Amino acid sequence: MTRASTPGIWSLTEGEVSRIVEMAWEDRTSFEAIEAQFGRNESAVIDLMRRHMKPSSFRMWRKRMAGRTTKHAALRGAVHLRHRASHTRP
């Protein structure tokens, strides 16, 4: 992979990469939230995950993410924009 084919990925710190991987691994964090915070769209996150995870872990993550509505804010609806425990006050 060359620098020209992946603009912006090379400028991430180890902490940012770690946080993106953590957010992507979580079921409730949408790709849109990652893009809003780090400027990386879904395909860039998938590429980052592919390069920073073991192949078996990446395959397991992709299988789990396939078709999951919680990873796309548009499919979740406005009710789920932010996680809040059911016992807390609105």
User: Which of 43, 58, 50 shows the shortest CA–CA distance to 7?
Assistant: 43
pTM, two decimals, is 0.67
Tokens matching residue 32: 């849109």
CB 32 within 8 A of CB 78: no
Inter-helix orientation angle 42-52/55-65, to 10°:
150
pLDDT of 16-55, one tens digit each? 999 999 999 988 888 888 999 999 999 999 999 999 999 9
- Report percent pLDDT > 90 for the chain: 42
Q: How confident is the model at residue 59 (pLDDT cuts 50, 70, 90)?
A: very high
